[in-house]
Structure 1
Amino acid sequence: MNWYVVYTKPKWEKKVAERLNEIGIKAYCPLITKERQWSDRKKKIQVPLFNSYIFVQVNEKDRNVIFEVTGAIRYLFWLGKPAIVKEKEIEAIQNWLDVPDTFEVMVDKWQKGDKIVLESGPFMAQSAIVQKVKHNHYVLVLESLGCILKVKIK
């Protein structure tokens, strides 16, 4: 089964994912903890990593079932077809969210253009290309995820 990206009503991500899971459709809404300030207090709350988007794992023929849930608006499309997310990309997001805020990264003397495999942290086992070398950080391009990672040097 493929993972698809579903666009939801704003602020409905958690509700839609919860209701889809209740009716037997595997839905994933990645959450992060943020501290919010009100006039009288501070509170840590869980907010979606991607605003108005969740991931669902469903067969191609059953894709329309998600519209039975209030708040699910449409699928995200790429090149005229529903966008498919690979299982390893979902796992990479889950691994990244499971890692504590700080972690140790051992850094050798990398140079611009070096191709490396990360050995620790949330992107462990991901291949990357060193894009920039500065005195206090490296900028890495994670090819498989299509994102840029800044690694600070202690």
Structure 2
Amino acid sequence: MNWYVVYTKPKWEKKVAEKLIQLGIDCYCPLIIQLKQWSDRKKKVEVPLFNSYVFVHLNEAERNSVFQVAGVVRYLFWLGKPAVVKDQEIEIIKTSLKAPNISEVSVSPIQVGDKITLESGAFANQRAIVQEVSSNYYILVLETLGCVLKIKYK
């Protein structure tokens, strides 16, 4: 069984997770507590860590069962295939959010100028600088190899 990423309607993450659990589908919607301020008060609110994403733990054959739930839009795809999240990555998220000394967590997309380390493929463990981000590719500068890498995704 793999962890897949389901893309939901905006602000439907918690509702979708509840409905998936009712259907007997193992899912995980990481939540954090944020302090929200309105004009008349402040309040601590539980919000999803990843906007519009819920993780589901399913066999490949059962993947279509999530579409029974209102609010599910599609699966997140990476390189033309449904994005698969490793068990250890889900565990890291779970344990990190349980840590008592974390006061604020935010998730931001990769941006131009970010320094990253490639984790897999032919260039695994190589450090790169993000030069360009597009809707279907990244351009990375691999300084130690003296080359530019264009990664396309669908």
Q: TM-score range by the shorter chain?
A: 0.5 to 0.7
Aligned to 1:94: 94
- Provide closer, same or farther for how the CA distance between residues 76 and 102 of structure 1 changes in structure 2, counting only shifts above 3 A: closer
1:16 maps to amino acid: V
Give 1:100 shift. 1.5
Residues in 1 aligned to 2:70 and 2:34: alpha-carbon distance in whole angstroms = 26
CA distance in 2 between counterparts of 1:94 and 1:18 reads: 18
| CA-atom RMSD in angstroms | 2.4
Q: Supply the distance in 2 between the matched residues of 1:142 and 1:92 (Cα, whole angstroms).
A: 19
Q: Distance in 2 between matches of 1:71 and 1:57?
A: 18
Q: CA deviation at 1:10?
A: 0.1
In the alignment, what sits opposite 2:61? Answer: 61
* Inter-partner Cα distance in structure 2 for 1:68 and 1:102: 36
Query: 1:142 offset after TM fit, Å?
Result: 10
Pairs within 5 Å for 1:24-43: 24-43=24-43
In structure 2, the gaps of 5 or more residues are 104-115, 126-154
- Paired with 2:118 and 2:36, the residues of 1 have a C-alpha distance of 31
Q: In structure 2, do the counterparts of structure 1 residues 102 and 51 end up closer, same or farther at CA, with 3 Å as the change threshold?
A: closer
1:74 equivalent to 2:79? Answer no
Where in structure 1 do 4 or more consecutive aligned residues deviate above 3 Å? 140-144
Equivalence for 2:17: 17
Query: Could you tell me which amino acid in structure 2 is paired with residue 90 of structure 1?
Result: I
Letter in 2 for 1:92: I
TM-score (norm 2): 0.66
SS at match of 2:27: strand
Unaligned runs of 5+ in 1: 104-139, 147-154
Q: TM-score, normalized by length of structure 1?
A: 0.66
